[in-house]
Amino acid sequence: MALLTIATIGGENKTVSTEAEITALLATYGIDYERWNPAHQVADDAPPEEILRAYAREIDELKQRGGYVTADVIDVDPNTTGLEAMLAKFSREHWHDEDEVRFIIAGHGLFHIHTAAGPVLAIEVEAGDLIRVPRGTLHWFNLCADRRIRTIRLFQDTSGWSPHYTDSRVDERFLPVCFSLSHLAQQRSTTS
């Protein structure tokens, strides 16, 4: 389950963690959030075609809703070649001419959404979470401490996927820290 923090620079932070609250709150900013259960159980390290088959019903439904034409599976882990360069591309505030649609199969990630209304939303995602960031939305992305994420991606047109940078440096004012993971790590260290 995702964890959502609404952060205002110099203001109060508000954190919500239930599916209903996250869905409702993100919807007010035009961000879709859903939890998916697989059509059948599939290992999170299964081959990409098996993953896509397991989620075929949800993917088809989303394709119809959003005009997406293609789906793939992407894997990132600490051994991924060129990981730092790849992460640097996405950790600065940017937007795309294409929706950013991600369903998380394994690992964790942290999306920051800079809303037009002002607040920055920090959304920690994990397995089972679907997030759709509409085209043109200002955002940036970091991995969490496990530096691992496997996701299904959907595209309207892969040519629209290149990031446009704002160079606002607003991303530097928000810590790229996943609180759900650090709480887990703390729990482990106090119980072991």
Shortest distance in whole angstroms from residue 140 CB to Fe ion: 7
3-state secondary structure 74-131: EEECCCCCCHHHHHHHHCCCEECCCCEEEEEEEEEEEEEEECCCCCEEEEEEECCEEE
Half-sphere exposure of 4 (CA within 13 A, CB side): 24
- Sign for the pseudo-dihedral over CA of 50, 54, 59, 60: positive
Considering only residues 5 to 44 of the shown chain, the ones binding Fe ion according to CB under 5 A are none
Shortest distance in whole angstroms from residue 64 CB to Fe ion: 23
Considering only residues 100 to 159 of the shown chain, the ones binding Fe ion according to CB under 5 A are 100
Shortest distance in whole angstroms from residue 163 CB to Fe ion: 6
Is the CB of residue 129 less than 8 Å from the CB of residue 33? Answer: yes
Shortest distance in whole angstroms from residue 100 CB to Fe ion: 5
CB nearer to Fe ion: pick between 100 and 124:
100
Shortest distance in whole angstroms from residue 111 CB to Fe ion: 8
Q: Which residue is nearest to Fe ion (CB)?
A: 100
CA angle 109, 31, 113 (to 5 degrees): 55
CB nearer to Fe ion: pick between 96 and 147:
96
Candidates 7-15, 54-62, 95-103, 166-174; binding stretch for Fe ion (CB under 5 A): 95-103
Distance between CA atoms of 121 and 88, rounded to whole angstroms? 20
Distance between CA atoms of 140 and 153, rounded to whole angstroms? 16
Candidates 51-59, 99-107, 124-132, 170-178; binding stretch for Fe ion (CB under 5 A): 99-107
User: Where on the chain is the footprint of Fe ion (CB under 5 A)?
Assistant: 100
